[in-house]
Amino acid sequence: MGEPLLDGQRRKEVLRQCMSVGVATGTYGISFGALSVAAGLSLWQTIALSALLFSGASQFAVVGIVAAGGSGAAAVATSTLLGMRNGLYGLQMSRLLGVHGLRRVAAAQLTIDESTAVGVVQPERSAQRLGFWGTGLAVYVMWNLMTIVGAVVGNTLGDPKRFGLDAAAPAAFCALLWPRLKRGDARAVAAVSAVIALVVAPHAPAGVPVLVAALAAIVAGLLPQRRGTAASS
């Protein structure tokens, strides 16, 4: 180690960030829990997804595709493609955390958008570690508790359509997508993939159109980067 320890003031600041992100993110575990039981997953399957998969977009994708009558294979494939970014977060965090053994396993499980984001923005190494672990644990605890609340409440609602839960799922995907649309090239990829999915939808089983649309991302990523695309609106 050898890096200087944080003073009390900085420690409090970082922990406050961890808690606020944990509460804000964890709370929408309620909507995941409710949508999951509405999709036909049991309480325990819903709990298992939050405890084991622990990556919001992938979890929403699994229950969304199951709800639409898609195959298990399509649900697993979409969830896995969505989770690939966590591998890159792991790459970034492994440099900052320097963890081995069981701590590495725990760090991997807590590697998500929020913990990585709070970790990497801190200026000091010890704050980066505190930010990652604090946010990861806070989100993990809140997300899992709120999932149970949502699943229990969702079970009492009955017909999901009556309460518009079938509109809640795409709204949740919209909210997850929104912060990723700041760049012009991202908006282009989003538009193209939406069109691809809608064109393919009548001709393929549920779940498959979304996977075909992922090609838009691969093509966009392989294309040589053009200057100026990031600034266009």
- Which residues within the stretch 15-54 sit at the binding site for other proteins (CB under 8 A)? 24-25, 27-28, 30-31, 40-42, 45, 48-49, 52-54
DSSP state of 124: S
**In a 3-state reduction of DSSP, which class is residue 229?**
coil
How far apart are alpha carbons 207 and 197 in whole angstroms? 10
- Altogether, the residues listed in the chain come to a count of 233
Closest CA to 86 of 103, 106, 108: 108
Smallest gap from residue 66 Cβ to other proteins (A): 7
Answer yes or no whether residue 180 interacts with other proteins by CB under 8 A.
yes
| Interaction residues for other proteins, span 114-153 (CB under 8 A) | none
Residue with tokens 């966009």: 220
Q: Among 15, 43, 96, 99, which residue interacts with other proteins (rule: CB under 8 A)?
A: 99
Nearer to other proteins, 11 or 155 (CB): 155
Binding region for other proteins (CB under 8 A) out of 6-14, 78-86, 122-130, 137-145? 78-86
Q: Which part of the chain contacts other proteins (CB under 8 A), choosing from 2-10, 14-22, 84-92, 120-128?
A: 84-92
List alpha helices for 50-124, DSSP H: 56-67, 72-97, 101-109, 113-120
Give the other-Cβ count within 10 Å of 90's Cβ.
15
CB of 232 to other proteins, least distance (A): 16
Residue 158 makes contact with other proteins by CB under 8 A: no
Residue selected from 71, 144, 155, 229 as contacting other proteins according to rule CB under 8 A: 71
Closest residue by Cα to residue 33 from 141, 148, 138 = 148
Query: For other proteins, which is the closer residue by CB, 15 or 190?
Result: 190
Q: Which is closer to other proteins, CB of 18 or CB of 208?
A: 208
Single-letter amino acid code for the residue at 158: G
Q: DSSP class of residue 123?
A: S
d(CA 172, CA 45) in angstroms, rounded, equals 20
Q: Which is nearer to other proteins, 15 or 184 (CB)?
A: 184
**Minimum distance of other proteins from residue 7's CB (angstroms):** 30
Nearer Cβ to other proteins (5/73):
73
Q: Report the alpha-carbon distance of residue 31 to residue 170 in Å, rounded.
A: 12
Nearer to other proteins, 118 or 172 (CB): 172
Q: Does 61 interact with other proteins (rule: CB under 8 A)?
A: yes
**Rounded distance between C-alpha atoms, residue 200 and residue 65, angstroms:** 15
Q: How far is the CB of 100 from other proteins (least distance, A)?
A: 9
